[in-house]
Homo-oligomer: A and B are copies of this chain.
Amino acid sequence: MTNQQYQQCLEACQDCATACHQCAVACLNEKDVEMLKTCIQLDLECAVICNAAATVMSLEGRFSDQLCRVCTDICNACADECEKHAQQGMEHCRRCADMCRKCATACEEMAAVGH
């Protein structure tokens, strides 16, 4: 993975963490919060793991690839959930799902080839 790809992966993790938190807070303010419980739960978990992945990458950590593997899995799980609500017109979920897929792809590459 080139330095540029590494930097892009790091930024995808940061953007995903932000989108997840923004989605969680927007979900909390929707009329039917009950329906969005799993989404909020996954958003919060995903944000923590993305943030840790970005931080470990910024430290040039040697466990970046292992952490990126976990990050791929949670991002895909979060995107799966968000896409359900995106289909019902929730813009924050659509945006979050996009960021999660982008992050999952970048982290999968990072986990596979390392830095």
Residues of B within 8 A of A5 (CB): none
With contacts A48-B52, A52-B49, A67-B70 taken as known, whether A41 is within 8 angstroms of B21 at the C-beta atoms is: no
Q: Which of B29, B45, B56 contacts A48 (CB 8 A)?
A: B56
**A residues 10-26 with Cβ under 8 Å of B?**
10, 14, 17-18, 21-22, 24-25
Q: Are B48 and A37 in contact (CB under 8 A)?
A: no
A86 at the interface (CB under 8 A from B): no
A107 at the interface (CB under 8 A from B): no
Report the interface size for chain A: residues with CB under 8 A from the other chain. 37
A108 at the interface (CB under 8 A from B): no
Whole-angstrom CA separation of A16 from B48 in the bound complex:
17
Q: Are B40 and A59 in contact (CB under 8 A)?
A: no
Q: Are A49 and B33 in contact (CB under 8 A)?
A: no
Q: Are B41 and A25 in contact (CB under 8 A)?
A: yes
What are 25 A-B interface contacts by the 8 Å CB criterion? A14-B18, A21-B55, A21-B58, A22-B58, A25-B59, A25-B60, A28-B40, A29-B37, A33-B33, A33-B37, A40-B40, A44-B59, A44-B61, A45-B59, A47-B55, A47-B58, A48-B55, A48-B59, A49-B56, A49-B63, A51-B55, A63-B70, A66-B70, A66-B73, A67-B70
